[in-house]
Amino acid sequence: MTDQQPVRIGSEEITTVEGREVRAPYDDHLIATVPSCTTEHVERAIAIAKAVLADPLPPWRRAEILDAAAVAVAAHRDELAAIIAEEAAKPIRTARTEAERSVITFQSAAAETRLLAGEMVPMDAAQPGEGKLGFTLRVPRGVVAAISPFNFPLNLVAHKLAPALAAGCPVVLKPASQTPLSAIRLHEILMDECGLPPGWINIVTGSGGTVGDPLVTHPDVDVVTFTGSPGVGWSIAEKAFRKKVGLELGNNAPLIIDASGDWETAAQKVAVAGFSHAGQSCISTQRIYVHRSLLDDFTAALAERVGALRVGDPLDEATDVSSLISQAETDRVEGWIGEAVGAGASLVVGGQRHDRLLDPTILTGIEPDMEVSRSEVFGPLVGLAGFDSLDDALALANDTDYGLQAALFTTELDGALRAAHELDFGGVLVNEVPTFRTDQMPYGGVRDSGNTKEGPHWAVREMTRERLVVIQR
């Protein structure tokens, strides 16, 4: 058994008698144990977070800390990437990109801190307001409870911590049980190297049911920011009475390639966008609708690229695709491939399982009622179907309970504008895959994809509120 990796609540390093094991999804080796926090730890963390609000950090200090965080994360890029790769089975090159993206998240939050301001209210626009001066102050909402998923264990933690700090809100973070180590290391870096005072960020590790519930229901928590699956997210929204709740949830991203679309570029991009981190991204390209005139060419071009992806150890520089987060998830995706094939879809490449590894898979002939069309696959799989008219393709893309990002390849202005107006998603991309994201852009979904927008600019506005001040001259 390894030594337990402590978490920090205030300035205290917490360990517990019983630890929780963190095992590598790729080969099940024990990486570390972390504390099994209890309701008492959650309550202590919230009390400490609430207490620091009495001694607010001025915006310039917060911006300084966030700037220092960007520099420190860049300096620790390789170390952080190795932690991500091991605990999440994310191929090391992709893990490095995640660490680099976290730098941008901190930089953008620092910029937001410096520009955060309220607005003037034109009081004398109404006769009773004459002689009065009105303006708003942006004030922190209060203690933030942050709950993060396994698939971006560093950058999605950064997407919660950085805006909270920019907004002046202290945080209690519960990272995913499978991937707590990136968050714990980031927290150490923020406190030990970036000047973050104790109590502004506190970590509790433990299962969603044990520490998640008391965290989201506690009366001293003002904001809940959750990224994860719709089932857990909506149940949190029901429990978090009177709190500001931001949910970033699932998706099953569609891509349309119309008759004029650059299908060769699309094939090149999909070979990454459908298989990066074995498809375990909420905007992984999943359903691909291709104009029937291009279907054979596109399928062949994609198959050639996907067939060449290297499957293996996440710490090997050559690996493109590694294992899924658990055996249970691998069983599920394997089952959905079997269901689709049984219902008439055809395997183009992949579909084979080697213990913990699932080969990158292309299915063609997917139908709307198959799991691979209807649900979120979260695995190394894309499904193809042909279409005859853009009307049909737009209807197929929209036929989902999810709504995070969708995309269209076209050279027709009319098609691009129709996609912008008619694809009912939080984000629509033209001549790009639906998997494209930068960390400062507004990013959020509708329906089962959530109710909020990420990106530091938007998240800071979720975590602050405007207080009106009226002064009689």
The contact pattern for ligand NAP, residues 200-229, with x = CB under 6 A and - = no contact, is: -------xxx--xx--x----------xxx
Residue 168 or 444 with smaller CB distance to ligand NAP: 444
Our finding on whether 140 is near ligand NAP (CB under 6 A) is: no
Residue 48 or 249 with smaller CB distance to ligand NAP: 249
Is 371 assigned a catalytic role?
no
Our finding on whether 404 is near ligand NAP (CB under 6 A) is: yes
Q: Which residues, other chains included, contact 213 with Cβ-Cβ below 8 Å and sequence gap of 6+?
A: 239
Residue 59 or 279 with smaller CB distance to ligand NAP: 279
DSSP 10: T
Residue 378 or 387 with smaller CB distance to ligand NAP: 378
- For residues 38 and 201, the answer to whether their CB atoms sit within 8 Å is no
Our finding on whether 376 is near ligand NAP (CB under 6 A) is: yes
For the CB of residue 204, give the shortest distance to ligand NAP in the complex, in Å: 11
Our finding on whether 250 is near ligand NAP (CB under 6 A) is: yes
In angstroms, the CA 462 to CA 148 distance is 17
The contact pattern for ligand NAP, residues 256-295, with x = CB under 6 A and - = no contact, is: --------------------------x-------------
For the CB of residue 371, give the shortest distance to ligand NAP in the complex, in Å: 14
* Cα–Cα distances in angstroms (integers) from residue 462 to residues 142, 221, 376, 438, 453, in the given order: 11, 14, 27, 19, 9
For the CB of residue 415, give the shortest distance to ligand NAP in the complex, in Å: 27
Is 282 assigned a catalytic role?
yes
- The residue with tokens 């279907």 is 295
Strands 201-203 and 171-174: parallel
- Out of 91, 274, 450, 455, point to the residue binding ligand NAP (CB under 6 A): 450
- Backbone φ and ψ for 58, nearest 5 degrees, come out as -65, 155
Quick one: how far is CA 162 from the chain centroid?
Answer: 14
Catalytic residue among 86, 98, 112, 248: 248
Our finding on whether 177 is near ligand NAP (CB under 6 A) is: yes
- Out of 37, 95, 144, 236, point to the residue binding ligand NAP (CB under 6 A): 236
For the CB of residue 458, give the shortest distance to ligand NAP in the complex, in Å: 12
- For residues 221 and 143, the answer to whether their CB atoms sit within 8 Å is yes
Strands 120-121 and 132-140: antiparallel
- For residues 243 and 223, the answer to whether their CB atoms sit within 8 Å is yes
For the CB of residue 325, give the shortest distance to ligand NAP in the complex, in Å: 7
In angstroms, the CA 150 to CA 45 distance is 22
Number of residues that bind ligand NAP (CB under 6 A): 32
The contact pattern for ligand NAP, residues 384-403, with x = CB under 6 A and - = no contact, is: --------------------
**Residue whose C-alpha is closest to residue 382's, from 352, 407, 350:** 350
**Residue whose C-alpha is closest to residue 105's, from 458, 465, 360, 376:** 458
Our finding on whether 373 is near ligand NAP (CB under 6 A) is: no
For the CB of residue 205, give the shortest distance to ligand NAP in the complex, in Å: 8
Our finding on whether 19 is near ligand NAP (CB under 6 A) is: no
Our finding on whether 148 is near ligand NAP (CB under 6 A) is: yes
- For residues 134 and 470, the answer to whether their CB atoms sit within 8 Å is yes
For the CB of residue 251, give the shortest distance to ligand NAP in the complex, in Å: 6
Residue 103 or 459 with smaller CB distance to ligand NAP: 459
Quick one: how far is CA 299 from the chain centroid?
Answer: 29
Structure tokens at 367: 């139908």
In angstroms, the CA 398 to CA 254 distance is 8
Q: Let me know how many helices (H) and strands (E) the chain has, helices first.
A: 15, 23
Q: Which residues bind ligand NAP (CB under 6 A)?
A: 147-152, 156, 174, 176-178, 207-209, 212-213, 216, 227-229, 232, 236, 248-251, 282, 376, 378, 404, 449-450
Q: Which residues are catalytic?
A: 248, 282
